């Protein structure tokens, strides 16, 4: 037990410029292999992860990755028993794949034959098979021949020990996933969006699900080496979840997810190569998380900022319409277009300061002009707009009273909220509906029609 | 096999750890939130790492605070991403726990020079070595893990008893809970905190990844056996304890059979829990696969028995009395082996008797069969009245309905003289 | 049960022919021995109380849920061989409307069946999709994200998706539920057009008031078919009382007991 240290001791030794250039230009064989391998993985995982996310099976992939551990151990033992070293990546990955499939089948079996639901089924398979894997790993380490020391690396990833053939395997998988995604894009989209419709149209939902989960299993299995099984699911879903904040179409989402995954892989491998004692897998995942947060906040399609901006501009529009309507109503009470601030304040019981601020904004828009320090005047443009706004508001009031049974005392407030989302076609309909029919008893009389 | 005191202590520690996990685990499984337990058991890692780095020791207070913060943070983040970010709940859990876990791993790896902790151990525990880390209580040397898990177990038991009603209602019927003034969200965050603290306490014993097994598997196993809250809770704890004991036993004996020296106790505890799950899956008296299969066969046999009686009764009505086993088998659509079994059962019940090669109803059998036929024909009347459809279906449907009709249902069917086919509806037999 | 000659005749000409269909959900029978022949070129409503099996009936016909027993023929052939001429409009709730796709994308899904595995859509398919959108009055919304559509608009693009399939038989599950007046009018117009083109449309309907106005035939369903036929003769007070009257609790109770016992039907 050591004492006398603090967080600041865990300092980062920053790499020198030379080192950076070496890594970035992929001069090192090792770096080259790792970087290219994880870039391929990131792209493949982003692609198939999009469909996994849309199919709402994210955590099944987590169970899948944990279930591969016994497969790896058994594959090792089999290979050693057959006289080998037990190090062949392909052999280990085949074992992983087989057990991944077993895991999925077990989840389905539990779900279909017991009262337990998805979450419990996934949790059971995940933990029990992982426990089995740990037991088998411990046993494998006692094998007389072969060396099982590298096997534990599949749990947290051991990207640093990748060789060219491994990177080739990953590139191969990426190509397969790319081709499959292109060919089956519309089928998988349909499956994820509307399962029942696709079954009626004649697509075999079972077959498509098998294809999807097989591709997920394959990508998970190759991810084991770089990010390890605990974090494999991150590569599948985080880039895809991030992509959703940038686009509203499937094809763009697929491309965005692939790019984000690829980029995270590249950056993670680079950082890991430059900074000592920085494990590759976790840093890649951390970077994915970073992109997710960026997308969550800044994403152009439904990101937090965009939504806030839309809400803010809506509020601005509402405020603008409020002031115009208030001014209109004030002007109705006298015959001209001149009014004083105090009249508006009295009508609406707003703060004088608020009214003045809104009036200044209306001046900027050209709806209102200042005649003297105390009087203001509506412009022609302002009159037209104000009349339109006031009319919308009153039509809604009438509609709400007559058709939605809202009490007259409450109508003003609701009309306030609804009127701003009226489109022109709906207003037209309302006018035909109400003005032609019984003449309304609006709490506020309708001004000169126009 | 060499069983020493150390082994006994290991089993005790494991059992207490498993039991203390099973308690919040049961509530998690009931609420379909098992995977939240998975997520939290991963996210406690950065919590522990930060606590280590700040305090420089395994100070329990710091770890406790770290656990609480992490538990609440996880729940909060998952909720935020799900509602604000419009991501489905499974994916939001996946995002939160993997990123936080990755962060924790990095902290651990970089801090390994500064703090005396083995990153691997954090993840799969080192219960085998826990014996050597002792504290002294009342002059006795006791493994620290024992004390920690013991305290955890007691506090979980206390919490679950104090909030018995609240946890029960908010798990089964959240809207009812609101009307009773219990806030489901408070119970939710309390549960998350309990889970996180338990996970932290358990990490020394089984490591933070295998905690998941202890949360989910015993509770799920119990769920296959019972559906009463109190019983479930006790069953989960019992199953967890058994799994821990079996696990350690298995870890030190089973590998020996194959020439190895042993294996990870934590891992085999998870496997033992899985084994118990499979046992319940197949053999549970209420929900097990075996029970259901046996039940189905019993039912089929009963229906066949009643069908035999019905056929014999109708033959008597038509004054055709002689029928042999083979013809009977064809008439009700059973294979010869099943037929033999059915006939044997009926003879034992005293409802049929054999004359030469033919089968006849006894008086007892006849009165039973009369009730059946009456029910059947009344159903035909009922169906014909309410659902005027093709005649051939009435018989088919009534054939199925007659086997599930109770006395009260029969009287609800009313009375009639003839059925839609023209056959007479027999009078009610006085029993 | 040997098929009678009458059944054989109907089977070949009737667009949808259902024989002795029984469907169970968690071992509880939801539909019992349903026997129907749907007439061609008409608008047919399926009416019944909640839980009567209305949606279950059309889903079982289309093989979305498994049958315990029974047979379904589409123009005399099994459903599996006739998929191309059947279109389905599911309930709006069955889909996640946050999916990243626009209205046109959804409608084009109707063309996937004709295009086949792995092949991309062609311009002709896009034109047909746009055409279908136009027919339901949603041509201006082609590039609108579906999460931004109102309930009625969503219903209309589901309808357009089915129209783009250019099928002969249409199954609709509560298309009029919670839609605005404009959408309701649009749907009714489309239905009338379909009928005048000789298509057969079967609709699970919830609103008793509009049955007379919108439909030609009606099927009254409450676990079994209570009555079916032209609206004028079948849609009577007496039949409605039988369907909705709640006097069928006995059958329901028997169904419950069957479920609890786990009987194989």
For residue A398, pLDDT over 70 is answered with no
Nearest by Cα to A18 from A31, A27, A10, A9: A27
B414: left (phi over 0), alpha (psi -120 to 50) or beta: left
Give the pLDDT confidence score for residue A5 in this predicted structure: 39
Residue B365 belongs to some domain of the structure: yes
Instruction: Enumerate helices (H) and strands (E) in chain C, giving the number of each.
Output: 11, 10
Mean pLDDT over residues B352-365, rounded? 84
* Contact list, A248 vs chain C (CB under 8 Å): 100-102, 145
Q: Of the ranges A45-49, A346-350, A376-380, B145-149, which one carries the lowest mean pLDDT score?
A: A346-350
Residue B348 lies in domain: 292-412
The Cα B198–Cα B240 span in angstroms is 14
Residue C252 belongs to some domain of the structure: yes
Residue C187 belongs to some domain of the structure: yes
User: Nearest-CA residue of chain C relative to A190?
Assistant: C109
* Cβ contacts from A onto C, under 8 A: 70
Q: Which residues of C touch B (CB under 8 A)?
A: 1, 20, 32-33, 35, 98, 224-227, 242, 247-248, 250-251, 253-254, 257-258, 261-265
Mean model confidence pLDDT for chain A: 82
User: Nearest-CA residue of chain A relative to C80?
Assistant: A202
Give the pLDDT confidence score for residue A323 in this predicted structure: 84
Nearest by Cα to A137 from B266, B217, B146: B266
- Which of residues C162 and A321 earns the better pLDDT score? C162
Q: Which residues of B210-223 are buried (b: 16+ CB within 10 A; e: fewer)?
A: bbbbbbbbbbbbbb
* Contact list, B293 vs chain C (CB under 8 Å): none
B308 and B208, same structural domain?
no
A193 closest CB neighbour out of C62, C95, C115: C95
Six token digits for residue C64: 């979305």
* Cβ contact C105–A253 (<8 Å): no
Nearest by Cα to A234 from A58, A35, A55, A40: A58
pLDDT band at B315 (very low <50, low <70, confident <90, very high): confident
Give the pLDDT confidence score for residue C30 in this predicted structure: 86
Six token digits for residue C199: 């298509």
Long-range (24+ apart) CB contacts under 8 A made by B245-251 are B245/B11, B245/B14, B245/B15, B246/B272, B246/B275, B246/B276, B247/B14, B247/B271, B247/B272, B247/B273, B248/B7, B248/B10, B248/B11, B248/B14, B249/B11, B251/A135
* Cβ contact B412–C20 (<8 Å): no
Residue B131 belongs to some domain of the structure: yes
B174 and B306, same structural domain?
no
Three-state DSSP at C126 gives: helix
For residue C127, pLDDT over 50 is answered with yes
Three-state DSSP at B263 gives: coil
For residue A450, pLDDT over 90 is answered with no
* Contact list, B403 vs chain C (CB under 8 Å): 263
3-state SS, one letter per residue, for B148-217: HHHHHHHHHHHHHHHCHHHHHHHHHCHHHHHHCCCCHHHHHHHHHHHHHHHHHHHHHHHHHHHHHHHHHH
The Cα C57–Cα C221 span in angstroms is 9
The Cα A100–Cα A60 span in angstroms is 10
**Residue A199: C-alpha distances to residues A70, A194, A207, C83, C90 (Å):** 35, 9, 11, 10, 12
Strand C224-230, strand C217-222: pairing: antiparallel
**% of chain C with per-residue pLDDT over 70:** 92
For residue A165, pLDDT over 70 is answered with yes
Give the pLDDT confidence score for residue B154 in this predicted structure: 93
Give the global pTM: 0.84
The Cα B112–Cα B128 span in angstroms is 21
* Cβ contact B396–C33 (<8 Å): yes
| Strand spans (E) along A379-427 | none
The Cα B263–Cα A241 span in angstroms is 39
In terms of Cβ atoms closer than 10 Å to its own Cβ (0-12, 13-18, 19+), residue C237 is exposed
Mean pLDDT over residues B148-159, rounded? 91
* Cβ contact C33–B404 (<8 Å): no
Q: How many domains does chain C divide into?
A: 1
**% of chain A with per-residue pLDDT over 70:** 84
Give the pLDDT confidence score for residue C168 in this predicted structure: 94
Mutate to test the interface with A, among B102, B121, B289 (most CBs of A within 10 A): B102
Strand C43-47, strand C200-204: pairing: parallel
- pLDDT single digits (tens) B157-214: 999 999 998 888 888 877 788 788 778 888 889 999 999 999 888 877 777 667 899 9
Give the pLDDT confidence score for residue B4 in this predicted structure: 83
Instruction: Please check whether residue C142 is in contact with residue C101, taking contact to mean a CB–CB distance below 8 angstroms.
Output: no
Q: How many CA atoms lie within 13 A of A42 on its CB side?
A: 28
**For helices B164-172 and B229-257, angle between their N-to-C axes, nearest 10 degrees:** 90
- Give the minimum alpha-carbon distance from A25 to chain C in angstroms, rounded to a whole number: 37
Three-state DSSP at C225 gives: strand
- pLDDT single digits (tens) C5-60: 444 545 678 899 998 888 987 777 888 888 889 999 999 999 998 877 899 999 99
The Cα C205–Cα C212 span in angstroms is 12
Mean pLDDT over residues A423-448, rounded? 54
- Give the minimum alpha-carbon distance from A37 to chain B in angstroms, rounded to a whole number: 20
Q: Tell me the CATH number at C81.
A: 3.40.50.300
Q: How many CA atoms lie within 13 A of C73 on its CB side?
A: 18
- Give the minimum alpha-carbon distance from A168 to chain B in angstroms, rounded to a whole number: 26
Q: Tell me the CATH number at B356.
A: 1.10.10.10
* Cβ contact B35–A130 (<8 Å): no
- Give the minimum alpha-carbon distance from A165 to chain B in angstroms, rounded to a whole number: 27
Give the pLDDT confidence score for residue A12 in this predicted structure: 57
* Cβ contact B86–A302 (<8 Å): yes
* Contact list, A197 vs chain C (CB under 8 Å): 88, 90, 109, 161
> Chain B 250-289, CB below 8 Å of chain A: which residues?
251, 255, 258, 260-264, 266-271, 273-274, 277, 281, 287, 289
Nearest by Cα to A160 from A78, A267, A38, A69: A38
The residue to which tokens 């939801």 are assigned: C30
Instruction: Please check whether residue B199 is in contact with residue B44, taking contact to mean a CB–CB distance below 8 angstroms.
Output: yes
B103 and B16, same structural domain?
yes
Q: How many domains does chain B divide into?
A: 2
Residue B268 belongs to some domain of the structure: no
- Give the minimum alpha-carbon distance from A128 to chain B in angstroms, rounded to a whole number: 5
* Cβ contact B281–A114 (<8 Å): yes
Strand B140-143, strand A338-340: pairing: unpaired
Cβ neighbours of residue B20 closer than 8 Å, sequence gap 6 or more: B149, B152, B153, B156, B198, B201, B202
Nearest by Cα to A241 from A199, A289, A175: A289
User: Nearest-CA residue of chain B relative to C4?
Assistant: B392
* Cβ contact C62–A247 (<8 Å): no
Give the pLDDT confidence score for residue B419 in this predicted structure: 81
Give the pLDDT confidence score for residue A445 in this predicted structure: 46
Give the pLDDT confidence score for residue A413 in this predicted structure: 47
Residue C120 belongs to some domain of the structure: yes
Mutate to test the interface with A, among C74, C98, C100, C171 (most CBs of A within 10 A): C100
pLDDT band at C129 (very low <50, low <70, confident <90, very high): very high
- pLDDT single digits (tens) A3-44: 333 444 445 566 777 777 777 777 777 778 888 889 999 999
Instruction: Please check whether residue B173 is in contact with residue B229, taking contact to mean a CB–CB distance below 8 angstroms.
Output: no
User: What single-letter DSSP state applies at residue A438?
Assistant: S
- Give the minimum alpha-carbon distance from C151 to chain B in angstroms, rounded to a whole number: 19
For residue B328, pLDDT over 60 is answered with yes
**Residue A244: C-alpha distances to residues A26, A142, A178, C150 (Å):** 32, 47, 19, 21
Which residue(s) pair with B354 in the sheet?
A: B359
Give the pLDDT confidence score for residue A3 in this predicted structure: 39
pLDDT band at C123 (very low <50, low <70, confident <90, very high): very high
Three-state DSSP at C74 gives: strand
For residue A409, pLDDT over 60 is answered with no
User: What single-letter DSSP state applies at residue C82?
Assistant: G
Give the pLDDT confidence score for residue B181 in this predicted structure: 79
Which residue(s) pair with B324 in the sheet?
A: B358
pLDDT band at B427 (very low <50, low <70, confident <90, very high): confident
The Cα A71–Cα A64 span in angstroms is 11
The residue to which tokens 């990748």 are assigned: A162
Give the pLDDT confidence score for residue A273 in this predicted structure: 84
pLDDT band at B338 (very low <50, low <70, confident <90, very high): confident
For residue B1, pLDDT over 70 is answered with no
Instruction: Please check whether residue A400 is in contact with residue A414, taking contact to mean a CB–CB distance below 8 angstroms.
Output: yes
Dihedral, B255, B258, B260, B263 alpha carbons, nearest 10: -20
Six token digits for residue B14: 């494991």
Indicate the length of chain C as a whole number: 265
Q: Of the ranges A210-219, B169-178, C128-137, which one carries the lowest mean pLDDT score?
A: B169-178
* Cβ contact C261–B397 (<8 Å): no
Give the pLDDT confidence score for residue B431 in this predicted structure: 44
Element of type H or E holding C84: none
* Cβ contact A244–C100 (<8 Å): yes
Six token digits for residue A72: 């790896």
Residue B148 belongs to some domain of the structure: yes
Mutate to test the interface with B, among C18, C28, C245, C257 (most CBs of B within 10 A): C257
- pLDDT single digits (tens) B78-99: 999 998 888 999 999 999 999 9
The Cα A188–Cα A259 span in angstroms is 20
The residue to which tokens 């970089």 are assigned: B110
B8: left (phi over 0), alpha (psi -120 to 50) or beta: alpha
Alpha helices (H) along C3-144: 5-13, 54-61, 103-108, 112-115, 123-135
Residue B279 belongs to some domain of the structure: no
The Cα A29–Cα A37 span in angstroms is 12
Mutate to test the interface with B, among A55, A113, A127 (most CBs of B within 10 A): A127
- pLDDT single digits (tens) C72-120: 999 989 998 989 999 999 999 889 998 999 999 999 999 998 888 888 8
- Give the minimum alpha-carbon distance from A239 to chain B in angstroms, rounded to a whole number: 10
C20 closest CB neighbour out of B393, B401, B412: B393
* CB neighbourhood size of B100 (10 A): 25
* Contact list, C242 vs chain B (CB under 8 Å): 386
pLDDT band at A108 (very low <50, low <70, confident <90, very high): very high
For residue C260, pLDDT over 80 is answered with no
Which domains does chain A carry?
A: 14-301 (1.10.3470.10), 307-434 (1.10.10.10)
Give the pLDDT confidence score for residue B386 in this predicted structure: 76
pLDDT band at B55 (very low <50, low <70, confident <90, very high): confident
Six token digits for residue A266: 């590249």
Element of type H or E holding B225: none
* Contact list, B90 vs chain A (CB under 8 Å): 56-59
Give the pLDDT confidence score for residue C246 in this predicted structure: 67
pLDDT band at A422 (very low <50, low <70, confident <90, very high): low
Long-range (24+ apart) CB contacts under 8 A made by B422-428 are B423/B317, B423/B377, B425/B374, B425/B377, B425/B378, B425/B381, B426/B370, B426/B373, B426/B374, B426/B377, B427/B374, B428/B371, B428/B374
C83 closest CB neighbour out of A183, A196, A202: A202
Residue C95 lies in domain: 7-261
Mean pLDDT over residues A218-247, rounded? 91
The residue to which tokens 């007496």 are assigned: C238
User: Nearest-CA residue of chain B relative to C246?
Assistant: B386
Cβ neighbours of residue A78 closer than 8 Å, sequence gap 6 or more: A91, A95
- pLDDT single digits (tens) A113-125: 998 988 999 999 9
B299 and B186, same structural domain?
no
């Amino acid at each position: 037990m050591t004492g006398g240290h603090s967080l600041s001791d865990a300092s980062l030794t920053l790499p020198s410029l030379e080192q950076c250039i070496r890594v970035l230009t992929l001069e090192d064989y090792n770096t080259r292999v790792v970087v290219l391998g994880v870039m391929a993985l990131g792209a493949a995982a982003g692609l198939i992860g999009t469909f996994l996310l849309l199919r709402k099976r994210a955590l099944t992939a987590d169970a899948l990755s944990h279930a591969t551990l016994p497969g790896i151990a058994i594959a090792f033992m089999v290979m050693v028993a057959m006289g080998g070293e037990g190090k062949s990546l392909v052999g280990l990955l085949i074992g992983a794949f087989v057990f991944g499939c077993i895991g999925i089948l077990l989840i389905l079996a539990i779900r279909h034959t017991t009262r337990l639901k998805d979450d419990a089924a996934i949790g059971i398979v995940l933990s029990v098979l992982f426990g089995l894997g740990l037991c088998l790993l411990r046993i494998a380490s006692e094998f007389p021949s072969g060396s099982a020391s590298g096997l534990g690396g599949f749990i947290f990833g051991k990207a640093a020990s990748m060789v060219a053939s491994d990177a080739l395997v990953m590139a191969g998988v990426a190509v397969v996933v790319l081709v499959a995604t292109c060919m089956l894009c519309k089928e998988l989209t349909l499956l994820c969006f509307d399962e029942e419709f696709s079954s009626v149209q004649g697509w075999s939902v079972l077959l498509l699900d098998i294809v999807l989960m097989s591709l997920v299993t394959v990508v998970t299995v190759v991810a084991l080496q770089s990010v390890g099984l605990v974090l494999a699911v991150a590569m599948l879903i985080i880039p895809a979840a991030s992509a959703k904040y940038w686009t509203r179409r499937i094809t763009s989402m697929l491309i965005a997810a692939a790019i984000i995954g690829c980029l995270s892989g590249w950056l993670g491998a680079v950082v890991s190569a430059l900074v000592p004692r920085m494990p590759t897998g976790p840093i890649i995942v951390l970077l994915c998380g970073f992109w997710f947060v960026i997308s969550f906040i800044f994403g152009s399609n439904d990101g937090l900022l965009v939504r806030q901006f839309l809400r803010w501009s809506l509020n601005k529009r509402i405020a603008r319409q409020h002031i115009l309507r208030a001014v209109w109503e004030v002007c109705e009470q006298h015959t001209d277009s001149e009014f004083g601030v105090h009249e508006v304040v009295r009508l609406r019981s707003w703060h004088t300061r608020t009214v003045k601020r809104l009036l200044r904004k209306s001046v900027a828009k050209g709806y209102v002009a200042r005649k003297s320090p105390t009087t203001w005047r509506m412009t022609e443009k302002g009159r037209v707009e104000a009349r339109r706004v006031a009319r919308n508001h009153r039509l809604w009031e009438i509609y709400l009273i007559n058709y939605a049974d809202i009490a007259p005392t409450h109508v003003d407030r609701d009309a306030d909220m609804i009127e701003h989302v009226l489109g022109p076609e709906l207003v037209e309909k309302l006018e035909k509906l109400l003005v032609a029919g019984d003449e309304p008893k609006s709490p506020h009389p309708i001004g000169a029609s126009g | 096999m060499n069983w020493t005191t150390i082994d006994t202590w290991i089993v005790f520690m494991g059992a207490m750890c498993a039991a203390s996990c099973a308690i919040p685990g049961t509530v998690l499984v009931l609420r379909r939130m098992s995977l939240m337990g998975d997520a939290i058991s991963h996210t406690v890692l950065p919590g522990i790492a930060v606590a280590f780095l700040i305090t420089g020791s395994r100070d329990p207070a710091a770890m406790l605070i770290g656990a609480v913060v992490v538990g609440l943070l996880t729940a909060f983040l998952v909720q935020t991403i799900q509602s604000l970010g419009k991501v489905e709940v499974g994916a939001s859990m996946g995002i939160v726990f993997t990123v936080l876990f990755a962060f924790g791993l990095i902290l651990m790896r970089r801090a390994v020079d500064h703090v005396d902790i083995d990153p691997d151990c954090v993840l799969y525990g080192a219960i085998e070595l826990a014996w050597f880390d002792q504290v002294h209580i009342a002059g006795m040397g006791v493994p620290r893990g024992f004390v920690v898990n013991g305290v955890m177990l007691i506090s979980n038991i206390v919490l679950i008893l104090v909030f018995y009603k609240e946890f029960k209602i908010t798990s089964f019927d959240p809207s009812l809970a609101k009307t009773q003034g219990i806030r489901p969200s408070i119970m939710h965050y309390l549960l998350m905190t309990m889970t996180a603290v338990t996970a932290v306490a358990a990490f020394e014993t089984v490591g933070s990844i295998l905690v998941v097994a202890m949360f989910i598997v015993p509770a799920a196993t119990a769920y296959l056996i019972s559906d009463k809250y109190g019983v479930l809770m006790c069953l989960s704890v019992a199953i967890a304890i058994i799994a821990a004991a079996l696990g350690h036993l298995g870890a030190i004996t089973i590998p020996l059979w194959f020439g190895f020296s042993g294996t990870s106790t934590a891992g085999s505890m998870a496997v033992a829990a899985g084994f118990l799950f499979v046992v319940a899956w197949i053999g549970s008296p209420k929900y097990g696969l075996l029970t259901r299969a046996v039940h189905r066969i019993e039912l089929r046999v009963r229906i066949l028995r009643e069908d035999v009686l019905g056929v014999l009764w109708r033959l008597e009505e038509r004054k055709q009395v002689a029928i042999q086993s083979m013809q009977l088998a064809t008439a009700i659509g059973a294979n010869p082996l099943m037929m033999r079994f059915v006939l044997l059962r009926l003879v034992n019940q005293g409802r049929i008797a054999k004359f030469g090669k033919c089968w006849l109803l006894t008086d007892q059998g006849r009165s039973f069969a009369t009730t059946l036929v009456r029910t059947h024909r009344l159903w035909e009347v009922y169906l014909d009245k309410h659902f005027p459809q093709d005649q051939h279906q009435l018989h088919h449907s009534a054939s199925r309905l007659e086997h599930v009709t109770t006395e009260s249902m029969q009287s609800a069917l009313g009375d009639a003289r003839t059925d839609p086919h023209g056959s007479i509806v027999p009078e009610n037999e006085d029993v | 049960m040997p098929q009678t000659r009458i059944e054989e005749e109907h089977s070949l000409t009737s667009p949808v022919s259902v024989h002795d269909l029984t469907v169970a959900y968690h071992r509880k029978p939801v539909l019992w021995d349903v026997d129907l022949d749907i007439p061609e070129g008409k608008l047919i409503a399926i009416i019944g109380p909640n839980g009567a099996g209305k949606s279950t009936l059309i889903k079982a016909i289309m093989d979305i849920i498994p049958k315990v027993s029974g047979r379904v023929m589409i123009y005399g052939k099994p459903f599996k061989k006739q998929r191309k001429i059947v279109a389905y409009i599911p309930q709006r709730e069955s889909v996640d409307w946050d999916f990243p796709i626009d209205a046109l994308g959804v409608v084009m899904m109707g063309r996937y069946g004709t295009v086949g595995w792995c092949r991309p859509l062609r311009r002709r398919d896009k034109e047909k999709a746009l055409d279908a959108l136009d027919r339901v009055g949603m041509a201006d919304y082609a590039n609108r994200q579906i999460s931004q559509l109102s309930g009625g608009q969503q219903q209309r693009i589901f309808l357009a998706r089915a129209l783009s399939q250019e099928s002969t038989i249409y199954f609709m599950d509560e298309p009029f539920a919670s839609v605005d007046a404009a959408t309701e009018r649009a749907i009714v117009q489309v239905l009338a057009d379909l009928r005048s083109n000789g298509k057969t449309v079967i609709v699970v309907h919830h609103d008793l008031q509009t049955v007379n106005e919108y439909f030609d035939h009606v099927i009254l369903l409450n676990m079994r078919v209570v009555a079916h036929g032209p609206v004028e003769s079948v849609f009577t007070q007496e039949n409605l009382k039988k369907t909705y009257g709640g006097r069928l609790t006995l059958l329901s109770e028997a169904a419950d007991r069957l479920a609890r016992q786990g009987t194989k039907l």
